[in-house]
Chains A and B, each alone.
Chain A
Amino acid sequence: MKISKTEWIGMLVEIVGVLAYLFALFVITLLFVR
């Protein structure tokens, strides 16, 4: 099973995108609970 460079980058985009979304949710949580 070979994974191309484009596929690796695609996977990274998914992971980074989800992490960014979770970080945004954490910032929102911080705003509510100070």
Chain B
Amino acid sequence: MTNPEMTVSSPRIISYYTGFILLGTSALMIIPVITAVCAREWEPLLDFVISMGLAACLGFLLIIFGRYARNHSDRVQWKHGFAVAALSWIMLMLTCSMPYFLSGHSLSYLDSCFDVMSGFTTTGLVLTQDLDHLSISMNMWRHMLTFIGGQGMVVLALSFIVKEGSGAYKFYVGEGKDIALVPNVKGTARIIWKISLVYLVIGTFVFWVAGLFIGLQPVSAFLHALYMFESSWSTGGFGPNTQNIMYYHSLLYEVVAMVIFIIGSFNFGLHYAIWQGKRKEFVKNIEIQSFAVTSFLGCVLVIAALSKTGLYPDAVSMFRRVVFNVISAHTTTGLGSVYAQQFAQQWGDAGILIMVIVMLIGGSACSTAGGFKGLRVGIVFKGILRDVRKLINSERSMKVYKFHYMKDIALEDGVIRSSALIIVCYMVLFGVGTLIGTFYGYSMADSAFEAASVTGNVGLSIGITNAAMPVVMKIYYIIAMYLGRLEFLSVFALIGLVIAGVKKVCKKYLA
């Protein structure tokens, strides 16, 4: 008889759950398959069927390898949850990029992987060629990936297969969504999807009406509305055309997008609190206060810098070009209402620097947004204020400092330290990205802009990201998007497990 202690090892647990996530991904390809059939796109249909088969085979192989873990979900530890989240995103990148590669719109498999990672992490940078002639099914797939990536693919898949109370929360936290809206994970996942789906219906309808208003045909208006909603809500930044939001030439379309991507960058916990009637949370929440202050300052500073140049002579064009892009960068959306080269040639160093700062700050924690998050900025800022007050006040003062995040939370050293550590990790990732850019001959400003864009999962480009850029930069940008999205801890856990496994094997064979 097999001893479960021996058979239910970490690799088997990780393999078992990762396999299910791959199966889930394979099942999701049904949507572009149906789209391809409806649009009579036979070649893309074949691409998706092949990719679906490959993802399903790989998923089954992983499940078979880890089958002993099936009845031992109580053995799932934090390290497994983190490792499953980190490994799943790599496996998803490898399998979801198959349709891209088979479509012939990518120059290499690496470019396909780049686009999928960009979609899943809601970044929005694109290496796909001839975007304007992409099939409907492929556009559906691209925007679906960014929509699902925003809410959390692992959360979606595991909320169906992991038994409640048996480690589900560990997978859930592993994907960077560490907030429990209700005591159980399934309930929390359902609330996240309910909020997103309600906004999907309303947002798509509003975009559709706006599309009809600017002269699109009803079916085309619907598809554009769906794509743009998915892209805006997930703070993704993809568009069905190379011109992105500029394709529509519409203030109405831009305002609708802004409203959706600002709301999309809010914490799901905040949505839930407001939907439950706690409306004061909207002004009391530390993340909203932090976002309001930093985005306001960002907009005012760029407007002040550019108003001297006369580049945008009237308030409407200034609003559409400056406010739109600053808010898009701050919420880490990446929809752009100016061309990449315009940032480089017209916005000047001050404009670029402010954009870099807001891209790094990003949106809210436990949202679809990236960056090191307004919550952490708020905590560190309040931590500095606390220390200054402690210096000024009497040494015997025992005042407890707090911040408001759904409820009043004590501002302890541990909270400040963990926030500061994550910010440091982001800054290192950004610094290395900038260094690599300058190493390959790009200017400091351009390198910093692009590095901030990938680190913060933004998607705005200053012109560096294209299929001709060095392979090393493509690989680094993939890693930066991945680390930025999963907020480091999951990836560190996976690396730790791999190193521990290698050490074990070495000891076994070298002893």
Contacts and interface: CB of A to CB of B under 8 A. Distances in A.
Interface of A: 1, 3, 6-7, 9-11, 13-15, 17-19, 21-22, 25-26, 28-30, 32-34
A28 to B, nearest CB: 6
Nearest to B279: A13
A7 B197 CA distance: 13
B277 interface: yes
Interface in B242-286: 255, 258-259, 262-263, 266, 271, 274-277, 279, 282
Contacts of B277: 6, 9-10
B156 to A, nearest CB: 16
Contact of B259 (A18, A26, A32): A18
Interface of B: 194, 197-199, 202, 255, 258-259, 262-263, 266, 271, 274-277, 279, 282, 292, 296, 299-300, 303-304, 307, 312-315, 318-319, 322-323, 327
A6 B318 CA distance: 37
A31 to B, nearest CB: 9
Contacts of A34: 315
Given A13-B282, A14-B271, A15-B259, A32 B304 contact: yes
Contacts of A28: 296, 299-300, 303
B279 A10 contact: yes
Given A18-B262, A32-B307, A33-B307, A7 B275 contact: yes
A26 B279 contact: no
Interface of B is mostly: helix
A15 B260 CA distance: 8
Nearest to A28: B300
Contacts of A17: 282
Nearest to B319: A29
Given A1-B197, A6-B275, A29-B299, 11 more contacts: A7-B276, A10-B275, A11-B275, A14-B271, A21-B292, A22-B255, A22-B323, A29-B323, A32-B318, A33-B307, A33-B312
A29 B303 contact: yes
B194 A19 contact: no
A6 B276 contact: yes
B299 A25 contact: yes
Contact of A11 (B198, B299, B312, B313): B198
Contacts of B275: 6-7, 10-11
Contact of B303 (A6, A11, A18, A32): A32
A9 B282 CA distance: 13
B274 A26 contact: no
Nearest to B194: A1
Nearest to B304: A32
Contacts of A9: 277
A15 B198 CA distance: 13
Contacts of A30: 315
A15 B307 contact: no
A18 B320 CA distance: 16
Nearest to B258: A22
A34 to B, nearest CB: 8
A20 to B, nearest CB: 11
Contacts of B259: 15, 18-19, 22
25 contacts: A1-B197, A3-B198, A6-B277, A10-B276, A11-B198, A11-B274, A14-B263, A14-B274, A17-B282, A18-B259, A18-B262, A18-B263, A19-B259, A21-B292, A22-B255, A22-B259, A25-B299, A25-B323, A29-B318, A30-B315, A32-B303, A32-B304, A33-B314, A33-B315, A33-B318
Ranked 6 nearest A-B pairs via Cβ: A10-B275, A10-B274, A7-B275, A30-B315, A33-B315, A32-B307
B30 to A, nearest CB: 21
Contact of A29 (B198, B313, B322): B322
A2 to B, nearest CB: 10
Contacts of B274: 10-11, 13-14
Contacts of B271: 10, 14
B323 A26 contact: yes
